[in-house]
């Protein structure tokens, strides 16, 4: 595959379960493509060099800096953004826990942090506080001091574990 | 910021990638995971005319255990290596160092070979490769390959022995040796930040290969005899690295870390504060 620098390439991928497409020059970052081409403005753009984590999205299920990935590289993949979290019933459990624990103030970093937590809790369903803090080290939040975020993530992990146990108990009866 | 415009090539095979390299030479930059290079492009510290993306070459995505080494292909991510089930058994040093490479969000895309190709003097994977005496495999036209040891590959800050028409196809880490202990320690401002000092040790019965990252312009490995005065050897090593002051640490503090962490690493049982 070859795309000239001044050429626009048709990029198509699944965004939050729906196939979407738009055009991108090779140099267009995935975060800008999401916001400007697809209108998915939930993903925020911070430092643009992979340090702050605000633009984190999931690509094929894995947390990824969308400023360190080209839109053209996402062609044919599966992308999930913060817009995927809330359902018809409103905010999901993770988002509700963030609200309850004051895990955000200005909210600029939150979209990225939620997506990292989303993948992390899938892989590490029963994390220690140290593991949560290690996962959060890939994000900068200048409002909260992280305490509320850590509490929110730990509470969601506990609640999901309990729900799983109840489900398993119900199955075994 | 946004990168300057570039022509983008995404070859499907290693041969196609090498053909492009032969065609464009040092006008092209190679990218795999892009977790270092994309930041450089975004800040316009590099403005290549051509970008060759080797991240989608399936034949370069592998982890293979061979007789005496583990071979890791150029498209294999750091996360994939971390999830390789036998990693702690086969490459205990790399298993300890990998969690220090960036953050899990960057390890998901960043490749093992890419980190070695980037050759940041404070990076953990080049340090491990040099300490273990591993090799980089480079391929050019007509399938011609050459192998370069870690010690020869890293030539300075972001500078390696790769020639413009060569593709790094894999890196080879020597497997754990019976009776050896492997330890890694790092001091950074925050977990995932660049190392102020990183130390890697391959400890045998009578001698230690001690690697130091983050101080000189490349990872430096010294063989220390366990029969000699260790404090003196570490002090000599610390002064030989040409440590410099910067915003994060003074040269004296870096020398202190090399002496103090070096002694602990070699003499004490490791503690893992993961």
Give the position of tokens 């205990």.
Answer: B92
Residues 43 through 82 of chain B touching chain A, CB cutoff 8 Å: 43, 49, 51, 53, 55, 79
Q: Is the pLDDT confidence value at B128 over 70?
A: yes
The residue with tokens 């916001």 is: A35
Helices then strands, counting H and E runs in chain B, come out as 11, 14
Between helix B230-240 and helix B251-267 the angle, nearest 10°, is: 140
- Can you tell me the distance from the alpha carbon of B40 to that of B236, in angstroms, rounded to the nearest whole number? 35
What's the CATH number of domain A9-84, 3.10.20.30, 3.40.50.12280, 3.50.50.60, 3.90.1150.10? 3.10.20.30
To the nearest whole number, what is the mean pLDDT of chain A? 96
CB–CB contact B109 A50 (8 Å): no
Q: How many helices (H) and strands (E) does chain A have?
A: 5, 6
Calculate how close chain B gets to A90, using CA atoms only, in Å. 27
pLDDT score recorded for residue B273: 44
**In the A/B pair of chains, how many CB contacts fall below 8 A?**
105
CB A78 within 8 A of CB A14: yes
| Helix, coil or strand: residue B123 | coil
Question: What number is the average pLDDT over the span A141-170?
Answer: 94
**Tell me, what's the pLDDT at A171?**
77
Alpha carbon of residue B81 to chain centroid? 13
Q: Which pLDDT does position B129 carry in this prediction?
A: 98
pLDDT in tens, B136-154: 999 999 999 999 999 999 9
Please indicate whether, in this complex, the C-beta atoms of B274 and A130 are within 8 angstroms of each other.
yes
The CA distance from B7 to B46, in Å, is 14
Which residue's entry shows tokens 């900068």? A140
CA distances in angstroms from B257 to A19, B156, B218, listed in the order given: 53, 22, 17
Q: Is CATH 1.10.150.120 the classification given to domain A93-172?
A: yes
Segments of chain A assigned to CATH 3.10.20.30: 9-84
Helix axes A110-123, A93-100, angle to 10 degrees: 120
Q: Is A65 close to B191, i.e. CB distance below 8 A?
A: no
Mean pLDDT of A97-123: 97
How many beta carbons lie within 10 A of that of residue A16, not counting itself? Answer: 17
Interface test with A, best of B105, B189, B273 (most A CBs within 10 A): B105
The model's pTM is: 0.94
Q: What is the pLDDT of residue B272?
A: 46
Averaged pLDDT score across all residues of chain B:
94
CB contact under 8 A, A5 and B35: no
- Which H or E run includes B19? helix B14-24
Which of B3, B42, B103 is facing A138, going by the closest CB pair? B103
Alpha-helical (H) ranges within chain A are 30-32, 93-100, 110-123, 129-136, 147-172
Q: Which two tokens stand for residue B68?
A: 């005496």
DSSP A25: -
Task: Place B269 in a pLDDT band, splitting at 50, 70 and 90.
Answer: low
Fold classified for B7-53: 3.30.43
Q: B104 to chain A: which residues are within 8 Å by CB? A: 63, 116, 120, 135, 138
Is the pLDDT score of B53 beyond 70? yes
**Domain segments of chain B as ranges:** 7-53, 62-174, 181-265
Q: Which of B36, B35, B74, B34 is nearest to B51 (CA)?
A: B34
**B125 against B226, higher pLDDT:** B125
pLDDT value for B271: 47
> How deeply is B272 buried, as exposed, middle or buried, from its count of CB atoms within 10 A (0-12, 13-18, 19+)?
exposed
The pLDDT, as a whole number, for residue B157 is 95
Q: Which of A65, A72, A76, A146 to mutate to test the interface with B (most CBs of B within 10 A)?
A: A65
pLDDT of A172 above 80: no
Q: How confident is the model at residue B221 (pLDDT cuts 50, 70, 90)?
A: very high
Confidence of residue B67 (pLDDT cuts 50, 70, 90): very high
CB B112 within 8 A of CB B78: yes
Residues in Cβ contact with B106 at an 8 Å cutoff, skipping those fewer than 6 apart: A50, A65, A68, A138, B35, B78
Whole-angstrom distance, CA of residue B45 vs CA of residue B144 = 32
Q: Please tell me the predicted confidence (pLDDT) of residue B189.
A: 85
Q: Any idea which of A15-24, B95-104, B192-201 has the lowest mean pLDDT?
A: B192-201
CATH architecture of B181-265: 2-Layer Sandwich (3.30)
- pLDDT band of residue A173 (cuts 50, 70, 90) is low
Which CATH architecture fits B62-174? 2-Layer Sandwich (3.30)
| pLDDT reading at B74 higher than 50 | yes
| Residue B174 confidence class, pLDDT cut points 50, 70, 90 | very high
State the average pLDDT over residues B150-159: 96
- pLDDT band per the 50, 70, 90 thresholds, residue B190: confident
ipTM for this prediction: 0.93
């Amino acid at each position: 595959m070859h795309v000239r620098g001044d050429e626009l390439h048709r990029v198509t991928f699944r965004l939050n379960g729906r196939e979407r497409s738009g055009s991108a020059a090779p140099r267009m970052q995935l975060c800008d493509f999401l916001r400007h081409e697809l209108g998915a403005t939930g993903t925020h753009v911070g430092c643009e060099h992979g340090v702050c984590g605000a633009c984190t999205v999931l690509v094929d299920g894995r947390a990824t800096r969308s400023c360190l990935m080209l839109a053209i590289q996402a062609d044919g993949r599966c992308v999930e953004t913060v817009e995927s979290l809330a359902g018809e019933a409103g905010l999901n459990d993770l988002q509700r826990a963030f609200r309850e624990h004051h895990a955000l103030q200005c909210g600029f970093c939150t979209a990225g942090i939620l997506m990292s937590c989303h993948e992390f809790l899938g892989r590490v369903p029963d994390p220690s506080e140290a593991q949560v803090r290690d996962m959060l080290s890939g994000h900068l939040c200048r409002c909260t001091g992280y305490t509320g975020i850590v509490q929110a993530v730990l509470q969601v992990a506990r609640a999901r574990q309990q729900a799983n146990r109840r489900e398993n108990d119900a199955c075994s009866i | 910021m946004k990168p300057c415009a570039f022509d983008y090539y995404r070859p499907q095979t290693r041969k196609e990638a090498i053909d492009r390299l032969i065609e464009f030479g040092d006008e092209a930059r190679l990218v795999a995971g892009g977790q270092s290079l994309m930041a450089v492009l975004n800040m316009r510290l590099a403005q290549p005319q051509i970008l060759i993306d080797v991240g989608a070459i399936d034949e370069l995505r592998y982890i293979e255990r061979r007789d005496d080494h583990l071979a890791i292909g150029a498209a294999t991510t750091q996360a994939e290596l971390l999830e390789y089930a036998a990693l702690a058994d086969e490459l205990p040093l790399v298993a300890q160092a990998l969690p220090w490479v960036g953050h899990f969000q960057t390890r998901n895309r960043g490749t093992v070979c890419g980190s070695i190709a980037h050759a940041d003097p404070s990076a953990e994977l080049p340090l491990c490769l040099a300490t273990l005496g591993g090799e980089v495999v480079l391929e050019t036209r007509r399938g011609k390959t050459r192998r370069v040891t870690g010690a020869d590959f890293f030539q300075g800050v972001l500078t390696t022995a790769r020639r413009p028409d060569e593709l790094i196809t894999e890196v080879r880490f020597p497997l754990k040796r019976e009776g050896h202990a492997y330890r890694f320690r790092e001091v950074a401002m925050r977990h995932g930040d660049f190392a102020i000092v990183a130390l890697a040790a391959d400890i045998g019965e009578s001698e230690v290969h001690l690697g130091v990252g983050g101080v000189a312009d490349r990872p430096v490995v010294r063989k220390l005899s366990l029969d000699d005065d260790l404090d003196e050897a570490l002090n000599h090593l610390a002064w030989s690295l040409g440590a410099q002051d910067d915003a994060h640490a003074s040269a004296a503090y870096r020398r202190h870390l090399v002496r103090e962490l070096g002694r602990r690493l070699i003499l004490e049982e490791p503690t893992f504060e993961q």
